Amino acid sequence: MNEAFPDIQKIQYEGPKSKNALSFKHYNADELVGGKKMKDHLRFGVAYWHTMRNTLSDPFGVGTAQRPWDDGTDSIANAQKRARVCFEFMEKLGVDFYCFHDRDVAPEGKTLAESNTNLDAVADVLEAEQQRTGKKLLWGTACLFAHPRYCQGAATSPNAGVFAYAAAQVKKALEVTHRLGGEGYVFWGGREGYATLWNTNMKRELDHLARFLHMAVDHAKKIGFTGQFYIEPKPREPSTHQYDSDAAACLNFLREHGLMEHLKLNIETNHATLAGHTMRHELEVAAAAGALGSIDANTGDELIGWDTDQFPTNIYLTTQIMLALLKAGGFTTGGLNFDAKVRRESFEPVDLFHAHIGGMDAFARGLKIAQAVIEDGRLDDFVKKRYATFDSGIGAKIEKGEVGFAELEAHVLQFGEPFLASGRQEFLENLINEFV
């Protein structure tokens, strides 16, 4: 096959002084940070739907993307060719993982059987390319939001036939993910919510969603898939309200339905901001529950109220993400999947490289800064000391559950007004900026 990017060689690390736009200034895959290779900390992934399939259309205009290797048809041959191009892209970029929806890689057929055959035909190529290159599948998923049958939901559709169709589709997507050695499987419920409560039985829909996830867990067991399941929070878009609206809502749902041991969270930056939270907040909520699984790395535009899925370039953001991640012990099955698209104005193939290189360099810097902050120790030390009154005396008794209101009343009557130290927010912000 002719190369899709004939003018682009493998992207090399050239260091911060390089003026070569197609080089890494900070991401140096094998460099050790805190005793671990950068590539093993970051586990970057390419999102097939954006990088290979996004035409860069918007609600006001058609697609602008120039993808000379793609003939624009729904043929299997075209889908297989695209799959090979994706691996050429990953090889040249030096990214080890990719993620896909079933319908990104292969066209939907007229029947489920036809769709499954199409998917198998492309999975053949994906498998061969994985073997040729050593690249791996970070996670697979099923597109349960594009086809008109899912317009009222998939697992939360009011229609049992639609529920069944979605289940059949996930069954196949799970089997293909398993066949390709996928390290995880994601549920993002774009239509699992409502457009209006006037026609919605929320309790029944949530119970159906839980049944659906239990069926997925059962099927994974049946086929021997031991990868990690994730649920990806997002508050809205395309639905008015999505049930998996943020990390806390997802965790509550998982706990209520006995699913905590089976699913972790895949946290996406732009979804966090749509939910009115910072990315760091969402990561810390997930981590506190032992459920920080994977990350969809992108960023939104603060002036636009929708999921703009931009590539992350803000070092302050990547620093916060990497601090939260390192604190939680790093990735096991997860990774940093660039769920991001180039702008509609950036329509040439080379822009895909600029975008990913920028994201990888931004995360490499975030990683190095976060590691330096941790090694410095002042931040951790401050936070630890802030809670020191709970380390001994009455505080330790509170934490151990040894005292109640009566003992605490006696404590206050004896010792009076507590001494409260400053929160030192500005001091800490300055401290972080020493490293950025």
Residues 86 to 105 in contact with ligand XLS, rule: CB under 6 A: 101
In sequence order, which residues have a C-beta less than 8 Å from that of residue 358 and are 6 or more positions away?
311, 313
Instruction: Specify the DSSP class assigned to residue 191.
Output: T
The distance of closest approach from Cβ of residue 255 to ligand XLS in the complex, given in angstroms and rounded to an integer, is 23
Regarding beta strands 241-242 and 193-194, do their DSSP bridges make them parallel or antiparallel, or are they unpaired?
Answer: antiparallel
Q: At what angle do helices 349-376 and 315-327 cross, to 10 degrees?
A: 60
List the structure tokens of 300.
Answer: 């939104």
The option from ligand XLS, Ni ion, none interacting with 141 (CB < 5 to 8 A, set by class) reads: ligand XLS
When the beta carbons of 11 and 297 are compared against Ni ion, the nearer one is: 297
* Per CB under 6 A, 191 contacts ligand XLS: no
Catalytic residue of the set 50, 101, 271, 281: 101
Determine the Cα–Cα distance for residues 176 and 182; give it in Å rounded to an integer.
Answer: 9
Q: Are 88 and 3 in contact (CB under 8 A)?
A: yes
Regarding beta strands 263-268 and 292-296, do their DSSP bridges make them parallel or antiparallel, or are they unpaired?
Answer: parallel
Site string for ligand XLS, 57-86 (x = CB under 6 A): ------------------------------
Q: Which of 88, 192, 232, 282 binds ligand XLS (CB under 6 A)?
A: 232
When the beta carbons of 233 and 349 are compared against ligand XLS, the nearer one is: 233
The distance of closest approach from Cβ of residue 169 to Ni ion in the complex, given in angstroms and rounded to an integer, is 18
Catalytic (active site) residue 102: no
Q: Are 213 and 257 in contact (CB under 8 A)?
A: yes
User: Closest-CB residue for ligand XLS?
Assistant: 188
Determine the Cα–Cα distance for residues 429 and 253; give it in Å rounded to an integer.
Answer: 35
- Identify which of 170, 155, 160 has the alpha carbon closest to the alpha carbon of residue 218: 170
Determine the Cα–Cα distance for residues 205 and 257; give it in Å rounded to an integer.
Answer: 13
The option from ligand XLS, Ni ion, none interacting with 103 (CB < 5 to 8 A, set by class) reads: none
* Per CB under 6 A, 244 contacts ligand XLS: no
Catalytic residue of the set 96, 102, 104, 309: 104
When the beta carbons of 4 and 65 are compared against ligand XLS, the nearer one is: 65
Does residue 15 come out as left (phi exceeding 0), alpha (psi in the -120 to 50 range) or beta? left
- Chain positions contacting Ni ion, by CB under 5 A: 268, 296, 307, 339
H or E element: which one contains 305?
Answer: none
When the beta carbons of 33 and 46 are compared against ligand XLS, the nearer one is: 46
List the structure tokens of 399.
Answer: 């934490």
When the beta carbons of 16 and 59 are compared against Ni ion, the nearer one is: 59
The distance of closest approach from Cβ of residue 237 to Ni ion in the complex, given in angstroms and rounded to an integer, is 8
Determine the Cα–Cα distance for residues 317 and 306; give it in Å rounded to an integer.
Answer: 19
The option from Ni ion, ligand XLS, none interacting with 26 (CB < 5 to 8 A, set by class) reads: none
* Per CB under 6 A, 268 contacts ligand XLS: yes
- Give how far the C-alpha of residue 386 lies from the chain's centroid of Cα atoms, to the nearest Å: 32
Q: Helical H runs in 101-159?
A: 102-105, 112-133
* Per CB under 6 A, 246 contacts ligand XLS: no
Q: Which of 312, 339, 340, 367 binds ligand XLS (CB under 6 A)?
A: 339
What's the one-letter identity of residue 308? T
The distance of closest approach from Cβ of residue 176 to ligand XLS in the complex, given in angstroms and rounded to an integer, is 15
Q: Per DSSP, what are the bridge partners of residue 136?
A: 97
The distance of closest approach from Cβ of residue 261 to ligand XLS in the complex, given in angstroms and rounded to an integer, is 23
The distance of closest approach from Cβ of residue 13 to ligand XLS in the complex, given in angstroms and rounded to an integer, is 29
Q: Are 172 and 217 in contact (CB under 8 A)?
A: no
Catalytic (active site) residue 101: yes
When the beta carbons of 47 and 364 are compared against ligand XLS, the nearer one is: 47
* Per CB under 6 A, 188 contacts ligand XLS: yes
Determine the Cα–Cα distance for residues 186 and 138; give it in Å rounded to an integer.
Answer: 10
Question: Which residues have a catalytic role annotated?
Answer: 101, 104
Residues making contact with ligand XLS (CB under 6 A): 101, 141, 186, 188, 232, 234, 268, 296, 307, 339
